[in-house]
Structure 1
């Protein structure tokens, strides 16, 4: 199992949004952990590392490290449940980060988690 703090920081680092409401950032981090203490630790660690800035309820990711859907998102066939919405999946989309693989997600949820939609 991947370290949830590292995985959460990488998820924020690869976010394509210019800015997110805190609630939207937490929604994405809930795909890593639903523990509020870990979520806070992820946000604090990401801020200390310069991955994000926080101001007036907004999270602003440092832009530049986007997920490549061609090389960093892999699909696997099987019986899965989406980590974001809970839907049943026969094809799971997994994001490959340095700290580990994150998923499974459905085809639209993987885009939402990375900020493509």
Structure 2
């Protein structure tokens, strides 16, 4: 479970959004875990570490550690299922983060997960 928490905190640190609803954050974290306790632990740890601020159902990512698509996104060819939308994909995009690899995602879902879209 610790690996999922670390991965979730690092993903939150990579969000490019100015603000998100808690529901939008949970939607993205569900690519890592659907366990409410783990999600709560991710949010609490990220807040304690200054990665996010929360106020009245709104989450404000504090960082500027955006994903470098050239350095931190790895593309692999094969038969995959997108972790976000469940679609079958032949090109998988994986986030290569310190806490581990996260994916696969389709081309539009990788942008949604990181906040580029």
TM range (shorter): over 0.9
Q: Partner of 2:88 in structure 1?
A: 88
Q: Partner of 1:33 in structure 2?
A: 33
**SS of alignment partner, residue 70 of structure 1:** helix
Instruction: Confirm or deny: 8 A CA contact 2:52 2:63 kept in the other structure.
Output: no
Unaligned runs of 5+ residues in structure 1 are none
Q: After TM superposition, which residue ranges in structure 1, 4 or more long, deviate above 2 angstroms?
A: none
Structure 2 CA distance for partners of 1:70 and 1:2, relative to 1, 3 Å: farther
Task: Name the Cα RMSD after superposition.
Answer: 1.2
- The structure where helix makes up a greater share of residues is 2
Q: What's the TM-score once normalised by structure 2's chain length? A: 0.97
- For 1:31-71, what per-residue CA distance to the aligned partner results, in whole angstroms no more than 9, with x for missing partners? 00010110000000100111000001000011310000111
**Aligned counterparts of 1:79 and 1:24: Cα–Cα separation in 2:** 28
Measured after TM superposition, the shift of residue 7 of structure 1 is 0.3
**SS of alignment partner, residue 9 of structure 1:** helix
**Aligned counterparts of 2:34 and 2:77: Cα–Cα separation in 1:** 26
**SS of alignment partner, residue 111 of structure 2:** helix
Q: Partner of 2:69 in structure 1?
A: 69
**SS of alignment partner, residue 74 of structure 1:** strand
Q: Partner of 1:56 in structure 2?
A: 56
